[in-house]
Chains A and B, each alone.
Chain A
Amino acid sequence: MNSLLDRYDVFLFDCDGVLWTGLEPIVGAKKLLQVLLAREDKTVILVTNNSTKTRALLNDHVKKVLGFSMPDERCLYSSGVACAMYMRHQLKEGEKIFLMGSNGFSSVLKECGVEAVGHGVHEPMDLHSFSTFQPDPTVKFVVGGFDPQLTHTKMTKAFIYVREFGAEYICTNQDLVCPLSSSRLLPGTGAVLAGLTAALGHTGKVIGKPSPIFFDIVAREHGITDKSRVLMVGDNLLTDIQFAANSGIDSAVVYTGVTKPKDVTESAVKPTYCLNSVAELL
């Protein structure tokens, strides 16, 4: 399949299920990346919906699993990084955001110069205490990511910011589940934010995959103008392949993660290519 390396110059990779599974590299992934990184005319960018790590921590994970770091941290994107970049130019001096997210996401925002309130654990409040809750008037966005500390109390404050005070609600992604192992699933960001989604009647603006906003942000930072030379490689039809379709770029699904051949047959969205693993790109 050498022609795929010739046909495209920019390779976007999802991480889990594509380059590695947990801490185990996918066979051939290391060699593939080394080949691509060695070529001046090729660009490698990692795009993950996992908003819990900073770019530096993501790169540490790359190093731990594949044995080398990405030479340019700007080639690592999480949905958290995308949210920070999305908001950064829309916030005026002194304006803040209300954050429902992980410590990693909080750090990403700080690095991007976005000031957040509400991060962390909230004192539980019963219904009647909300009569006197006074929001911070400088909050312009409510941001939802994977939040291990999201309680009904914290979510209610977010709801009030959006409903009563007109804050714009954006989220990193809506993945419902996160596979822990082949037999156990864990709730993903979509499940954690489901209560707020139900109360508001919408998910907020999704910035991560499958939203094309994520692609626009990557394209802008890297000066990508020719979409026909971009290939998205992922294991998830609903996020990775849909992302490619929404962004107007080609895609390749790999069978080393959550998708198997029969899922492709049953899916409305189809990838451009089907590969057993990323090793087949070589």
Chain B
Amino acid sequence: KQWYQRRVRGMMDEILGIPDIPKRDVITSGVATAIYLKNRMNIEKEKVYLIAQDAFSKTLDDYGISHFGLGPQPFRNTVEWGEFEVDPSVKYVVVSLDPDFNHSKLTEAYLYITENNAEYIVPDVDMFYSCKRGDGTRKIPGTHSVQAGLSAMVEKAPTPIGKPSRFIFDMIQEEYGPLDGGRTLMIGDSYETDMKFGFNCGIATALVLSGNAKKEDVEGFERQPDFVMDDISGILD
């Protein structure tokens, strides 16, 4: 059922040869957002305006959350915007990475937030993503670039769901019971999302250098992670 969780669990099996990871043990910002919405929305009466990709929309579907806005949206001119009727049942605006994000989606999101007082939710706020390029990586703008224009235009701060916000950690504790911060370790490759998440949750932090972060970045960090290792196998050392 949980589409993206199934994909992550599928990858664990295919790439690492570890089958049967329990569903509850894979949390994506999509799942966390769906749970956040489910706990708050009047599912019958309220709608979500979604700026994201297909996987996110499927996750919301899994949780029975009604949403719209996926896919390309043609430009609307000033006359059309003057006549645009804001559907008052749209009480939530969720903004994540969307290759189709454009002026039209930005404007529509802005109108729901300012005219409906819709809650503006950001599942993830990554400044950059990395993709492979030859032997190295290529840095490209992340989700934050989709949110920047909207955040500048609206007066209120968005609700953050994913790392580095501690919302997911609190959600995990609700499921598993309280966790001992001293015996809980966050392992990740991004200082801005993973390490700051660990700091915000009061848990131990381990940075791996096999992804986003590079060795030369480490000394410049304003706060040092508890551990720094070349890759995840360092946990066994």
Contact = CB atoms under 8 A, between A and B. Distances in A.
B148 interface: yes
B112 to A, nearest CB: 13
Contact of A194 (B78, B140, B152): B152
B99 A125 contact: yes
Contacts of A181: 82
B99 A126 contact: yes
Contacts, number: 110
Given A124-B99, A185-B153, A152 B145 contact: yes
Given A149-B102, A152-B141, A187 B128 contact: no
A187 B140 contact: no
Contacts of A176: 152-153
Nearest to A192: B103
Contact of A163 (B127, B131, B139): B139
A126 B150 CA distance: 22
B141 A199 contact: yes
B98 interface: yes
A160 to B, nearest CB: 7
B166 interface: no
A1 interface: no
A187 B107 contact: yes
Most buried by A among B53, B99, B128: B99
Interface size class of A (residues with CB under 8 A): 35 or more
Interface in B147-185: 147-153
B109 to A, nearest CB: 10
A153 interface: yes
A118 interface: no
Nearest to B139: A163
A125 B99 CA distance: 6
A240 interface: no
Contact of A152 (B97, B111, B133, B150): B97
B98 A184 contact: no
Interface string B183-214: 00000000000000000000000000000000
Interface in A105-152: 124-128, 130-131, 147-152
Contacts of B104: 148
Given A187-B149, A198-B144, A127 B78 contact: no
Contact of A151 (B101, B133, B138, B139): B101
A160 B140 contact: yes
Contacts of B61: none
Most buried by A among B132, B138, B139, B142: B138
Contact of B110 (A149, A163, A187, A194): A187
Interface in A184-243: 184-187, 190-199
Nearest to A178: B78
B106 interface: yes
Given A148-B75, A191-B153, A164 B138 contact: yes
A177 interface: yes
Most buried by B among A180, A184, A196: A184
A177 B97 CA distance: 23
Nearest to B144: A198
Interface of B: 53, 72, 75, 78, 81-82, 97-104, 106-107, 110-111, 127-129, 131-133, 138-142, 144-153
Interface of A: 124-128, 130-131, 147-153, 155-156, 159-160, 163-164, 176-177, 180-181, 184-187, 190-199
23 contacts: A124-B72, A124-B100, A126-B99, A128-B131, A147-B103, A148-B104, A150-B102, A151-B100, A152-B146, A156-B141, A163-B139, A180-B78, A180-B81, A191-B153, A193-B149, A194-B148, A194-B152, A195-B141, A195-B144, A195-B149, A198-B141, A199-B128, A199-B144
Given A152-B100, A199-B144, 18 more contacts: A124-B100, A126-B99, A127-B131, A128-B132, A131-B132, A148-B102, A148-B104, A150-B102, A151-B102, A152-B141, A155-B145, A159-B141, A160-B140, A163-B139, A191-B149, A191-B153, A195-B147, A199-B141
Top 5 nearest A-B pairs (CB, nearest first) are A195-B145, A124-B99, A194-B149, A199-B141, A191-B149
